[in-house]
Amino acid sequence: MWLYLAALLGLYFLRRWYRERQSVEKLTEKYVFITGSDSGFGNQLARQLDARGLRVLAACLTQKGAKELERVTSDRLKTTILDVTSTENVAAAAEWVKGCVGNKGLWGLVNNAGIGIPAAPNEWLTKDDFAKVINVNLLGLIDVTLHMLPLVRAARGRVVNIASVYGRLACIGGCYCPSKYGVEAFSDSLRRELHPFGVQVIIIEPGVFRTPILNNVEDNFWKAWSQAPSHIKECYGQQYLEDLCRSCQLLCKGASSDTYLVTDSIEHALTTCYPRTRYSAGWDAKLFYIPLSYMPTSLADSVLTYFMSKPDQAV
């Protein structure tokens, strides 16, 4: 019996390997719009797809980021300035993209723009703190998607949303995890709605990588602590803050620098004839976070609480 199961499993992976090797035709004629291209995954992906010959439309938050990206890429790549929290800005970007793609439509929409702070235990934050992150990571993503969908549908293309393993397992308090849980939910419903139109929706779930989104997280803990009411400080205590900071230091220290694992997953989602519904990027995602997300809640809570309360012993 086990031999038959192993054979079936082997055939399944062999079939998947064969299907995923088949590339989309005429890639050099395909347009891909990427948000958050100033730095991190978005910047690396824009350069990677440009080198592959695709027609990249890169949205940057700053003029400096746009000029630097143009400097290191080909003339095919075009940039625009985009703040995803501004509906007027998003609408203008959609018109710009429409002018660039013409009748070809938009083959790929990559929703990559995101921020990580404010981040701290929930009780240390305010509603405005949550709104700041959710406006970028979730509502901005939704706004961009809704404006670009007619162009993606015209090309029978793909929507690639950058979520996180923290959208499957809320390992930290604060705003980031709720925003990424929302990305997962929006993507799932969108995938089913767009299936009849030949549009595919793909979710990328990176583990922890060394990108600008990790910058200043520990400093933000101290800032949130300093601004918290006195009764909060008395309740949690200084030791709680110090353990939290040590956990953050270990998390950042263990973060992978192999960011190509994420951009390769996005590239595959855009270029293969048969993309996966979800891509987990990074060994921590594959071997720790995602398996733990399927475990009983009590077990997941115990593991994560231990890592937070005793970070030195949990290494």
Listing DSSP states for 247-309 in one string gives HHHHHHHT-B--THHHHHHHHHHHHBSS--SEEEESHHIIIIIHHHHTS-HHHHHHHHHHHHH
> How far is 201 from 109, CA to CA, in rounded Å?
10
CATH, domain 27-212+257-295, list 2.60.120.260, 3.20.20.70, 3.90.1150.10, 3.40.50.720? 3.40.50.720
- Positions annotated as catalytic residues are 176
> How far is 147 from 251, CA to CA, in rounded Å?
36
> How far is 126 from 138, CA to CA, in rounded Å?
18
Positive or negative: CA dihedral 147, 150, 154, 157: positive
Local structure of 91: helix, strand or coil: helix
Instruction: Output the pLDDT for position 220.
Output: 78
Instruction: Output the pLDDT for position 14.
Output: 78
Residue 159 · residue 152 · CB < 8 Å: yes
Q: 88-102: per-residue pLDDT in tens?
A: 999 999 999 999 999
Kindly tell me the burial class for residue 90, based on how many C-beta atoms sit within 10 Å of its own C-beta (0-12, 13-18, 19 or more).
buried
Instruction: Output the pLDDT for position 309.
Output: 61
Instruction: Output the pLDDT for position 313.
Output: 47
- Global confidence as pTM: 0.91
Q: In tens digits, what is the pLDDT along the chain, a chain of 315 residues?
A: 777 787 788 787 777 776 777 788 899 999 999 999 999 999 999 999 999 999 999 999 999 999 999 999 999 999 999 999 999 999 999 999 999 999 999 999 999 999 988 888 889 899 999 999 999 999 999 999 999 999 999 999 999 999 999 999 998 888 899 999 999 999 999 999 999 999 999 999 999 998 887 777 777 777 887 888 888 888 888 888 888 888 887 877 888 889 999 999 999 999 999 999 999 999 999 999 999 999 999 999 998 887 766 545 444
HSE-up (13 A, CA, CB side) for residue 50? 23
Q: Virtual CA dihedral for 189, 128, 232, 298, nearest 10 degrees?
A: 10
Q: Which residues make beta-bridge pairs with 272?
A: 23
Local structure of 181: helix, strand or coil: helix
- Phi first, then psi: give them for residue 105, nearest 5 degrees: 75, 175
**Of 83, 78, 76, 148, which is closest to residue 110 (Cα–Cα)?**
148
Which ranges of 156-229 does DSSP label H, i.e. alpha helix? 176-194, 217-227
Q: 150-161: per-residue pLDDT in tens?
A: 999 999 999 999
Local structure of 202: helix, strand or coil: strand
Q: Which residues contact 209 (CB under 8 A, 6 or more apart)?
A: 41, 255, 256, 257, 258, 259, 261, 262, 281, 282
